[in-house]
Amino acid sequence: MIAFLQQNAFWIIAIVKILLLMFIVLTVNAYLTWFERKVVAHIQSRWGPHRVGPHGLLQPAADGLKFLFKEDPTPDGVDRFVYYLAPFLALALSLTALAVIPFAPHPLPFKILGENVYLWITNPDIGLLILFAITALSVYGVALAGWASNSKYSLLGGLRSSAQMISYELALTMSVVGVLLMANTFSLQSIIEQQANAKWGIGILGWNIIAWTHQGLFLPQIVGFICFFTSAIAETNRAPFDLPEAESELVAGFHTEYASFKFAMFFIAEYTAMITVSCLATILFFGGWLSPFPSTPVWHFTYFIPSIALIPFGLWVIYDGLKYETIFGKLILPAVGFAMFGLGAGLVALPAVNDFIQPIFWFTAKIFVFLFFYIWARGTLPRLRYDQLMNVGWKLLLPVSIANVIVTAGVIILRGYR
């Protein structure tokens, strides 16, 4: 048994990593819906979900159960094969995109079955191109769902979204070229590592959004970032660019005719795409797993930021949980709070673990900032009209991102950076 495991260690570790990542991502997805509803509710002076479990924390589980047990009718006159294929395609592609994202630079400090275990599923030299390839294919999930449903609302939603995604793909790709010119590679890991040589060693100055390197090059990619994030929001069909599913015009757009778990698959695909875009924005423009602080010994106290965040939060969760009457409140919230407190205290006690956790902490923290930004935009901005959408894509974002490429290339050549 052990011999078999060791012989096929590479494949077994890969499969386990894939399963683990899918589990984590699907859980994060579920709680992202909770987070979104809470944030939007508070933006609108409401409470949001708060009936199922303390703070509505069990709402995602209730929603998931509802999706599983709902009746799943197939409308008359649909193209059966494509109708069933579309949600699978959408979900599979958005989950595949996560496979090329590197979450931390170092392998786990111990070996499993004699192999180093890195915190990524695969780390190809052309990671960014693979992500764009998957983005290019993910149009099909939406477009085919709209076409196969045999419904006018769905068809219009599908057509709109394919036009939108084709248009914004150009700006999305163009806005990244500036970063690629500076990094000289498609590998996501190298793009992050290249952002580490900051002016005076102050971490945040090296990130591509500011890009002040210690070779004296100063080339902020802020224009590129704004173009990138705007077109990424459009590419993931999120507000204010959620025209494919504009409720007031198209009922629910391309997924009008989908119910039960097939609808949930579109839903999960959309949220996974949000996570992927947040990862990508972090990697390309905000230094990935790099800390924003200098790495000199004076600044070593920044290593305790995860603990400083976790310990008070854990204590607060314990205090908050004790106020509830139910078993969930009395038992589970204090247990979670105690786990957080324990984790925070453990990180102080074990410097080796703390060192290892730093990149992961910064990466997740940045991802959550972008996820919050997504929801913030949804809660704040009104939906664009269709002609406005096309104008923004073709007449504003595309020329601006092309100009960004030309300026970046010009500065790199003039300063003799390469």
Partner 1 sequence: MSPVLLIFFVLAALAVLGAVSLVLQKHPIHSALSLIVVMVCLAGLYLLMGAEFIAAVQIIVYGGAIMVLFIFVIMLLNAGEEEHTDFSKLAKFAGLPLALALTASLAALVIKPGQSVQGATQALIPKATEQISSMLFKEFVYPFELTSFLILVAIMGALVLAQREKK
Which residues bind to partner 1, rule: CB under 8 A?
Answer: 11, 79, 81-82, 85, 124-126, 129-130, 132-133, 135-137, 139-140, 143-144, 146-147, 155, 158-159, 162-163, 165-166, 169, 186
152 versus 323: smaller Cβ distance to partner 1? 152
Find, among 310, 337, 307, 311, the residue nearest to 322 by Cα. 337
Q: How far is the CB of 163 from partner 1 (least distance, A)?
A: 7
E strands, 142-238, in order: none
List of residues 6+ apart from 304 with CB closer than 8 A = 347, 348, 354
- Are 100 and 123 in contact, with CB atoms under 8 Å apart? yes
169 versus 242: smaller Cβ distance to partner 1? 169
Q: How far is the CB of 405 from partner 1 (least distance, A)?
A: 15
What is the CB-side half-sphere exposure of residue 65 using CA atoms within 13 A?
Answer: 6
Find, among 121, 123, 140, 115, the residue nearest to 25 by Cα. 121
130 versus 333: smaller Cβ distance to partner 1? 130
79 versus 115: smaller Cβ distance to partner 1? 79
- Are 210 and 204 in contact, with CB atoms under 8 Å apart? yes
- Are 266 and 93 in contact, with CB atoms under 8 Å apart? no
Rounded to whole angstroms, how far apart are CA atoms 263 and 325?
35
Q: How far is the CB of 76 from partner 1 (least distance, A)?
A: 17
List of residues 6+ apart from 20 with CB closer than 8 A = none
List of residues 6+ apart from 56 with CB closer than 8 A = 34, 37, 38, 48, 49, 50
Q: How far is the CB of 99 from partner 1 (least distance, A)?
A: 13
117 versus 137: smaller Cβ distance to partner 1? 137
68 versus 413: smaller Cβ distance to partner 1? 413
318 versus 402: smaller Cβ distance to partner 1? 402
* Identity of the amino acid at 311: I
3-state DSSP assignment of residue 111: coil
Q: How far is the CB of 169 from partner 1 (least distance, A)?
A: 8
Q: How far is the CB of 400 from partner 1 (least distance, A)?
A: 21
Q: How far is the CB of 377 from partner 1 (least distance, A)?
A: 26
- Are 104 and 360 in contact, with CB atoms under 8 Å apart? yes
- Are 142 and 254 in contact, with CB atoms under 8 Å apart? yes
